[in-house]
Structure 1
């Protein structure tokens, strides 16, 4: 644990990260999984919802942070030492993800190997050498090459499904190349709800790498000293709209928008929204021409900044707490979570709203934890 001053951090990036972690806590912790408003659950398969933004935002943010950090270190930095550091960080994130999947029973034989943190760590490991040794043109080439290669593999390669029936270019659950690869290499260690495929599988990690490279490119633009902050904010908006247009074209003509498959259209969609949302935060907190306005927005958006300074720690802790709420019993057959939810269910409101109230309370509790850490200057680094 370390202490850092706000002056060493980009306020808008912390706010964007805080927005993502607050949204993640909200959608991951409803009072009742069967009572959800549509935007607060993932798209069933093709298509997207607000919830489908959140994890790609973390990947995009990780790319911005990586590029911005490297730009501050300058060309004289020891790249090999930085690579070792980034690989250690990625490996640590993977181990944290595996530990969360093992908790609380530690049944290795049924351990789900893929996961959100595992993908984030693996993507960090794969992107690190591209960030360190490639210029922006080479990074753009990697971005396009990964998406093109992934699209071709998913379209051309024929594979058997879990029943042995062969498919070429099928994007139905469990029938694509990624699902076959996961069953072949990770059989018995996939997402328990699907068993024959995993939303954070191996093959779809490649377009997730492209999502982080998009963040790298955004971070390079952000770090340019020759550009006015207002101009940077404007181009984030323009780039975001362009990416959304490309996403719609790809959705119509090639592989459809699909979070579970992390299709190229999904990469452009979430990159576009990432540019737009971050562009708003950047203009309000770092690029607005009037200092009084920036200071006023910094006060109003401070809760998001507070959340964003320890996002990884809060996410991991929330996973532990959520599991404990479902395991600890306060009475026969009554878990601690059910005990908390019962008064909300008794309210004369829509059951979905009662479920949302529990999630909002969960977020509020974690904001209290984040605020206490912020007050003490604690930043948990991996």
Structure 2
């Protein structure tokens, strides 16, 4: 069991390291294409990162609650953890370094990454402890198909629905109606309300993988590879009717990203558990404190972006300009080197926390 959890920890750590990497370039105006999200339909390696984390949240749920007694205390812990995650996300969205240290209410973004993790964790955990795996497969299929039908066939303001970024996109429309000015953009939010429904399935698909890893099935890596490949094929076929789209978290996007997640985790499992190869310790350290590392990277990054130096440039911009910009480097490379430096810092912090036995659970 410990080895299996180790491979999950390595995967989680890799994911959180990638999240920090793609979120902290030296400048957003100069970033290599693989480190950017797809403009709308389609996906890049960066678009895999967040669904990978929700997937591994589901896998961790399977490990945590498989043989646990289910009582009022269990539900309380699930609720408390969900509220902590949502609270941390709202704090990040509201905080400013200037007195009174809170943005104007109209400028606070309500949805966010940690908020979505909290909501998805709550529903995935509650569903897992109440239903068997066969029922969960049915629930997952129902949610994905229902989301497709809602997005594709429900008229919006008397107009035919669309999957494009437009007023008659149902997900965009609901986000604007519910959150108003509290969205990421004026017309949509990548962690919006309706798109959270298929995001729950991203976590449930991780639950199934966790159950496979804990089972007595032989050749687990082969099974995961087969499942991953099948999801990739199904997702790309569904893309013909419901485009792969991270901002909308489409059903095809759920299947494709879960497919890649299964393939990646199968490889790690094969190397660590089947072949006995020991690698990726730094990712295991990061995985042990994943949420707090993500929170700190976002919080500190926000502070560095708000503190101004003498010429009006942010401290972040000053560091980047002074240390990383050189005539012999392209701006994209300078921007990437800055991000790698940030990642190195948080990997070292993860190492220190792990060695001192400090595990901050949210």
Q: Establish whether TM, by shorter chain, passes 0.5.
A: yes
TM-aligned CA distance change 1:234 to 1:36, over 3 Å: same
* Gapped regions of structure 2 (runs ≥ 5): none
1:201 aligns with 2:192: yes
CA distance in 2, matches of 1:84, 1:274: 30
1:26 to 17, 21, 39: 21
Kindly report which structure 2 residues correspond to 1:253-292, keeping only aligned pairs within 5 A, or say none.
254-288=241-275
Farther off after superposition, 351-360 or 328-337: 328-337
Partner in structure 2 of residue 41 of structure 1 = 36
Quick check: 1:347–1:354 contact (8 Å CA) kept in 2?
A: no
Look up the match of 1:222: 213
Find the residue that maps to 2:181 and give its secondary structure: coil
Instruction: Give the aligned length.
Output: 355
The one-character-per-residue Cα deviations of 1:39-70 (angstroms, maximum 9, x if unpaired) are: 00000000000000000001000000001111
Match of 1:326 among 288, 296, 305: 305
Partner of 2:231: 243
Moved more, 306-315 or 8-17: 8-17
Q: Which residue of 2 aligns with 1:102?
A: 94
Q: Decide whether the 8 Å contact of 1:240 with 1:273 is kept in 2.
A: yes
* Cα distance in structure 1, aligned partners of 2:328 and 2:26: 16
Give the alignment's Cα RMSD to 1 decimal: 1.5
**Superposed displacement of residue 347, structure 1:** 4.0
SS at match of 1:127: helix
Q: What residue number does 1:137 align with?
A: 134
| 1:100/1:8 CA distance change after superposition, 3 Å | farther
The answer to whether the Cα contact below 8 Å between 2:4 and 2:273 also exists between their aligned partners in 1 is no
Query: How far did 1:176 drift?
Result: 1.1
Shift of 1:348: 0.7
Q: TM-score, normalised by structure 1?
A: 0.90
Equivalent residue number for residue 87 of structure 1? 79
1:112 is matched with which residue?
109
Contact 2:154 / 2:161 at 8 angstroms: preserved in 1?
yes
1:211 aligns with 2:202: yes
Corresponding position: 1:147 with 2:144: yes
1:292-331 deviation digits (Å, cap 9, x = unpaired): xx2xx32x31111111110100000001111111122332
Equivalent of 2:169, from 160, 169, 176?
176
Distance across 2 between alignment mates of 1:282 and 1:301? 12
> Equivalences for 1:304-315 in 2 at 5 Å?
304-315=283-294
**How much has 1:9 moved relative to structure 2?**
7.5
TM-score (normalizing by structure 2): 0.95
Task: Describe the superposition over 1:158-215 as per-residue Cα deviations: whole angstroms up to 9, x where unpaired.
Answer: 113xxxxx43221111431111111111111111xx2121111100000001111111
Deviation at 1:83, TM superposition (A): 2.0
SS at match of 2:194: coil
Structure 1 residue 317 corresponds to structure 2 residue 317:
no
**How far off its partner does 1:381 sit?**
0.5
What is the rounded CA distance, in whole Å, between the counterparts of 2:136 and 2:346 in structure 1?
37
